[in-house]
Amino acid sequence: MSWFDDLKTPRFKGNPPLSPAADGFPKPKPDLREKVAKIPEGLWGKCPSCGEIIQTKQLQENSSVCTECDHHLRISAVERIALLTDENSFVPYGEDFKSNDPLKFDDQKPYADRLKQAMKNCQMNDAFLSGKATLEGLPFHLGVFEFKFMGGSMGTAVGEKITLVLEGALKDKVPAVVVSASGGARMQEGILSLMQMAKTSAVIQRLRDEGIPYISVLTDPTTGGVAASFAMLGDVIMAEPRALIGFAGPRVIEQTIRQKLPEGFQRSEFLLKHGFIDRIVHRKEMKQEIYQCFIRLGKRCHFNE
């Protein structure tokens, strides 16, 4: 065993108690954050919920779920695909799709420059990966958002790739799964981005007419036009624990209605209690839960073709 494997997670003496945040989940007080030394990138990770310092290797082995408080950290689209598919079964399509700049949008920085920077940072052409894969040997079409690409915002390219996933499932008569992690429609593309809400919703209705299962998985965060369209139209809607889900953000709502929001508002647990989602599923159990949905809902699917 190497010396690195023997390292123990550092702990800090005299940590003050955690104070409740607006959403009901504890957050470290400012003086606790000041006590936490700067962490070398790639060696340690810090839980944004409880402030625990954890080895990056340990986090990866635990599917990026905090070993202390069970907080689900955000993960990349590639990591998500690896968790939800059989090994080496994912075959991507639509990789060349990319948004252009139809409105020549320019605020503090030209939209074209933002796209180039995001492409460079994420090594992908837009905020969504689409493809066909198998899960426990059963074929299905899968689409996953990459939140690091401009907040997982949905422009024309993302909308078209979501449509590819749904239409692919319709054509092959196999289930469709979309994993959302998005700030909503991409404002730099104006009405063209909002049109993707209607386009994707229309295909979902065609899937429903044919009895082809569409499973929507909501992760932190799922908001805006994504939450207001295909993300909330699944035959089964699953969510990871404590994920932020809603249309407008809590602060915007509070400022608009000038009222204090209920504890845990817009978190998965709140939505489950009020009937907006079907179930909350731990990240480690998500693959098996989706598989069970395939078995129960896939009566009209052609799994053996």
**Bridge partners for 214 per DSSP:** 176
Q: Decide if 66 is inside a domain.
A: no
Per-residue pLDDT tens over the stretch 243-297: 999 999 888 999 999 999 998 999 999 999 999 999 999 999 999 999 999 999 9
165 or 44, higher pLDDT = 165
Query: Residue 139's pLDDT band (boundaries 50, 70, 90)?
Result: very high
Q: Cα–Cα distance between 271 and 258 in angstroms, integer?
A: 21
Residue 261 and residue 224 share a domain = yes
* 54: enclosing H helix or E strand: strand 53-55
Residue 32 and residue 132 share a domain = no
Query: Residue 44's pLDDT band (boundaries 50, 70, 90)?
Result: confident
Residue 83 and residue 42 share a domain = no
Per-residue pLDDT tens over the stretch 62-121: 999 999 999 999 999 999 999 999 999 999 999 999 999 999 999 999 999 999 999 999
Closest CA to 100 of 35, 158, 152, 170: 158
Lowest-pLDDT choice from 53-57, 132-136, 234-238: 53-57
Q: Decide if 305 is inside a domain.
A: no
Which range marks the domain in which residue 99 is found? Answer: 77-300
Q: Which two tokens stand for residue 41?
A: 């990138």
Residue 216 and residue 82 share a domain = yes
Residue 26 and residue 141 share a domain = no
Q: Cα–Cα distance between 163 and 206 in angstroms, integer?
A: 11
Q: Decide if 3 is inside a domain.
A: no
User: Does pLDDT of 17 surpass 50?
Assistant: no
SS (H, E, C) 134-194: EECCEEEEEEEECCCCHHHCECHHHHHHHHHHHHHHHHHCCCEEEEEEECCECHHHHHHHH
Q: Decide if 32 is inside a domain.
A: yes
**Bridge partners for 16 per DSSP:** none
What pLDDT does residue 303 have? Answer: 81
Residue 221 and residue 157 share a domain = yes
Q: Cα–Cα distance between 186 and 158 in angstroms, integer?
A: 10
Residue 57 and residue 137 share a domain = no
| Amino acid at site 5 | D
Residue 162 and residue 21 share a domain = no
pTM of the predicted structure, to 2 decimals: 0.86
Q: Residue 240 in contact with residue 249, Cβ under 8 Å?
A: no
Listed in sequence order, the DSSP H helices in the chain are 30-35, 56-61, 77-84, 111-122, 156-172, 190-210, 224-227, 250-257, 268-273, 286-297
What pLDDT does residue 39 have? Answer: 41
Q: Which two tokens stand for residue 73?
A: 């950290």
Residue 258 and residue 130 share a domain = yes
- CATH number for the domain including 260? 3.90.226.10
Q: How many CA atoms lie within 13 Å of 100's alpha carbon, on the beta-carbon side?
A: 2
Closest CA to 193 of 229, 166, 141: 229
Q: Decide if 271 is inside a domain.
A: yes
Average pLDDT over residues 38-49: 73
Residue 123 and residue 30 share a domain = no
Q: Decide if 4 is inside a domain.
A: no
Residue 46 and residue 85 share a domain = no
6 or 261, higher pLDDT = 261
Q: Decide if 1 is inside a domain.
A: no
Q: How many domains does the chain have?
A: 2
